[in-house]
Chain A
Amino acid sequence: MAKKKVPAMNTSSTADIAFLLLCYFLMTTTMGSQTGLSRRLPPMPDKDQKVEDQKVNRRNIIVVKINSSDRLLAGSEPIDVSQLKDKIKEFLTNPADNPNLPEKEIQEIDLIGNWPVSKGVISLQNDRGTSYQAYIAVQNELVKAVNELRDDCAKQKFGKKFALLDEDQQAAVKKAVPQNISEAEPKDVGKKR
């Protein structure tokens, strides 16, 4: 029985085939993870709901307005985007217990203990003519201010940055430094052609 030797199959073209497949996937798919600023919209008020004045103390609100030429107004004075973060941080921490800045309530939070939680709310109002870029820039500054305060709190209590904490600790810090950004009902102020 003379065994016939089977000739080796020529496999040099499999690489080409695989390359073709590879190119196909490169063309038709997208990489790039989605990133962005996450927000929760307030639910629509019911029509038959009685208009109830939510009594929020005046000192607890800072109104950030953006007009149609992308200028900023924080509280009552015009401000630049670069100054907004510090302004918000000062507003939320109220280090000198200024009676014009938001009150703080000592709350007991798991893992942290007693912590003065600010009652401050940031109210963001924009015009229909505001550019999206300016709007995102302001949103970004607001988030940055809150994130920095969270980092401070995390460092003080756990000795680590907020991002390095575990889930329970993060939840505790989030409770201590809430992100209260309210997007007001739209208003039409200055027209932009």
Chain B
Amino acid sequence: MSKFGGSNNKKEVPAMTSSSLSDIVFMLLFFFMVTTQMRETENKVVVKIPEASEVVKLERKDLNSYINIGTPIRSLQAQYGTDARIQLNDSFKTTDDIRDFIAAERESKSEADRQFMTVSIRADQDVRMGIITDVKQELRRCSALKIMYSARKGGE
């Protein structure tokens, strides 16, 4: 009755080695570090991007500058109202500031890449075209002609 009798000769289960766990987590970490990019600006406008079926991917993310257009987020509505606003970098701007913004963005890119700079217009789907037309006219004046209308891939 050795199997059931004595309680002191119980076989001990060896502790599971958890040393590889950290390796797995590190691998995950590296995956995320490589595939993601830092969030550079905080969104101050609500942008619900419209859907489209024929979207193309942007090739060079680093050559991209963003113009966000939409209504201010809830906590800022008391201050700025609910009309659609333009957000460049981290603050609300008007169309007149686009020129400086584009100039600064151009300056930050390397010389060889400047011609490939793309301006991505991220506008809310309920925004009226008037403000976007103004932005587009201003971009033409600054000769930033490569633009992209941000859109989600939507099923149709």
Which residues of A approach B to under 8 Å, CB–CB? Answer: 11-12, 14-15, 17-19, 21-22, 25-26, 28-31, 33-44, 126-133, 135-137, 139-140, 143-144, 147, 183, 186, 192
A31's nearest neighbour on chain B, judged by CB, is B36
B154 to chain A, nearest CB (A): 9
What is the size category of the interface that chain B forms with chain A? 35 or more
A139 touches B139 (CB 8 A): no
Across chains A and B, which 10 residue pairs bring their CB atoms closest together, nearest first? A128-B130, A29-B36, A18-B25, A14-B22, A133-B125, A140-B52, A35-B55, A130-B129, A34-B58, A15-B22
CA distance A30 to B150 in the complex (A): 16
B142's nearest neighbour on chain A, judged by CB, is A44
B20's nearest neighbour on chain A, judged by CB, is A15
CA distance A28 to B21 in the complex (A): 24
Which residues of B approach A to under 8 Å, CB–CB? Answer: 18-19, 21-22, 25-26, 28-29, 32-33, 35-39, 50-58, 61, 64, 118, 120, 123-130, 132-133, 136-137, 139-141, 143, 145-153
With A18-B22, A40-B145 given, is the CB distance from A35 to B150 under 8 Å? Answer: yes
B128 touches A128 (CB 8 A): yes
Interface residue from A12, A38, A131 paired with B18 (Cβ < 8 Å): A12
Interface residue from B37, B139, B152 paired with A30 (Cβ < 8 Å): B37
A181 to chain B, nearest CB (A): 12
